[in-house]
Amino acid sequence: MYKVFLTLFLLFQSLHAFLNTDNNYEKQLTALKNFDLPNTFLKDSIFISMNEDVEIYKTKHFLRELESGDRFVPVLQKKMKEAGVPPEFLYLAMTESSFDPFSSSSAKASGIWQFIPETARRYGLVENAYVDERRDPIKSTEAAIVYLQRLHDLFGKWYLAALAYNCGEGTVTKAIAKAGTDDINVLLDESQKYLPKESRLYIRKILMMSFISGSTDIMLDNGSEYLLNRANNATFVSVPVPSGTHLKDVSETIGISLRELKSYNPHLKHAFTSPIGTKSYLYIPQDRQVVFTQNFDQTKQPQKYAVYTAQKGDSLQSVAKKYGMSSQSLMDLNSFKTANLKPKTEIIVPMGSAMPVIASAPSGSAEKMYIIKAGDTIETVSKKYDVPVAQLLKANNKKNALVKVGESIVIPKN
């Protein structure tokens, strides 16, 4: 208990010192200006009740979150700077997800920026059987920037854009109408409750995180001084690969584990890139870019893979036979530890004749996926897409023209 009190005391002392130095006072004013907030916001209860706030936000927990996002932070900072978005929005992402790309909510939001499916589609993020770009640190950040810029254009102030990002455009619009002003001190009035409680705390959380992150004293006191130089840390880069590339082929080429490579590519739902189209991409550590360029064979077309959902009555042996593989090969491909197979288990299989039910490819792709419906034949699909039957059979490795309802087939670019 003594250690707990001592730790809290030291945190209070360091944070108090930070907030009362001339240098950090200037940093606070800059942050307020970036967010279009008045200097009077420094009198807000978040600053008056600082000791309580430190306990609420758990400085050490905050630093752990900042450390967990260390890989993404330089990318987010660079993207926002180039777009003219205030750097404080870095902590909006932190507030939303703790920098965890796998973070999700009951509202089906996902990723660092917590996009719900509808908003993700509106801003060009793809979600299908193979990828979820809401979890892509680069693409989701680019989408979030466009969204925030649109909100800024709509409301005219960055703090209103942040509030709208949290609780929705309609809620903020109604709050301003009810309050008769967009003044932040009025909108955050605890007695009037113009905004939901979470939103009333939202700006305060973002600024608190920004202030703590900018404190050299707090970083040093907690052994996190290296985070102050994170903008100079090596991060990751995007490299082109053929569609359907298995991550194991790349991990072996650049000399890292498959597990580590997966951690750089949280947008991939499986251990291979999307088989749709002809080209895809992967994120790899920046210091492996040269060895990748020198050693990875871009001309070799990989075996493309799909995802088969096990049905009642399926066994590992029957699925393996269907795809012309041995049971052991199928187990190795999926990293299965046992041969036991339960219904609805997703199995990685070579793309072939018994394609699973998967999401359709986005329009404009070099290849599309078509799910066979009742009454369909190879001939009707051939006419529908103006692709010769022989070409359809070849693209799907089919020995005959038989198809089953629910089967997905590749529609090659004609």
Cα separation, 396 vs 365, whole angstroms: 17
- Contact of 29 with 191, CB cutoff 8 Å: no
CB atoms inside a 10 Å sphere around CB 96: 21
Which amino acid is located at 206 in the chain? I
Digit-coded pLDDT (tens) for 78-116 = 899 999 999 889 888 888 898 899 999 998 999 999 999
- For position 393, what pLDDT does the model report? 82
Give SS3 for 346.
strand
Contact 371, 326 (CB under 8 A): no
The Cα–Cα gap between 155 and 148 comes to 10
Q: What is the mean pLDDT of residues 300-327?
A: 84
- Letter string b/e over residues 218-233, b meaning 16 or more CB atoms within 10 A of that residue's CB: bbebbebeebeebeee
Q: What is the pLDDT of residue 324?
A: 81
Determine how many CB atoms are found less than 10 A away from the CB of residue 45: 12
The answer to whether the CB of 376 falls within 8 A of the CB of 409 is no
Helix pair 197-213, 50-57: axis angle to 10 deg: 90
Question: Does pTM top 0.85 for this prediction?
Answer: no
Q: From residue 28, give the alpha-carbon distance in Å to each of 52, 156, 288.
A: 19, 21, 39
Looking at per-residue pLDDT, the higher value among 186 and 384 belongs to 186
- Tell me the C-alpha distance between 195 and 188, whole Å: 7
Query: Please, which pLDDT band fits residue 256 given cuts at 50, 70 and 90?
Result: very high
Cα 137 to Cα 209: distance, rounded to the nearest angstrom: 20
pLDDT computed for residue 16 by the predictor: 45
CB 18 within 8 A of CB 218: yes
Looking at per-residue pLDDT, the higher value among 66 and 410 belongs to: 410
Rg of the chain over CA atoms, in angstroms? 26
What domains are there in the chain, each with its CATH number?
2-231 (1.10.530.10), 234-295 (3.10.350), 308-344 (3.10.350), 351-414 (3.10.350.10)
Residue 253 pLDDT more than 90? yes
Q: CA-CA distance, 217 to 239, in Å (whole number)?
A: 39
Only one residue has tokens 């009642």, namely: 312
The span from the CA of 372 to the CA of 379, in Å, is 12
User: Rounded distance, CA 218 to CA 224, Å?
Assistant: 8
Q: Write the CB contacts of 38 (distance below 8 Å, at least 6 apart in sequence).
A: 32, 184, 185
Q: How confident is the model at residue 379 (pLDDT cuts 50, 70, 90)?
A: confident
Q: Alpha-carbon distance 65 to 68, whole Å?
A: 5
Residue 250: alpha-carbon gap to chain centroid:
21
Mean pLDDT of 263-271: 93
Q: In the predicted model, what is the mean pLDDT of residues 285-298?
A: 93
pLDDT, mean of residues 277-292: 92
Rounded to whole angstroms, how far apart are CA atoms 285 and 246?
Answer: 17
Residue 219 has pLDDT above 60, yes or no: no
Torsion sign over Cα 285, 290, 295, 298: positive
Report the C-alpha gap between 293 and 88 in whole angstroms.
36
Question: Mean pLDDT over residues 265-293, rounded?
Answer: 91
Q: What amino acid is encoded at 190 in this protein?
A: E
User: Per-residue confidence at 57, pLDDT binned at 50, 70, 90?
Assistant: low
pLDDT of the residue at 133: 95
**Of all residues in the chain, what percent carry a pLDDT higher than 70?**
77
> In whole angstroms, what is the distance from residue 403 CA to residue 141 CA?
42
Q: Which residue has the tokens 């719900």?
A: 116
Instruction: Give the pLDDT of residue 104.
Output: 93
The amino acid present at 233, given as its one-letter code, is: N
How do residues 343-366 score in pLDDT, each as one tens digit?
888 888 887 544 443 333 333 334
Rounded distance between C-alpha atoms, residue 303 and residue 83, angstroms:
39
- Residue 291 tokens, joined: 């060895």
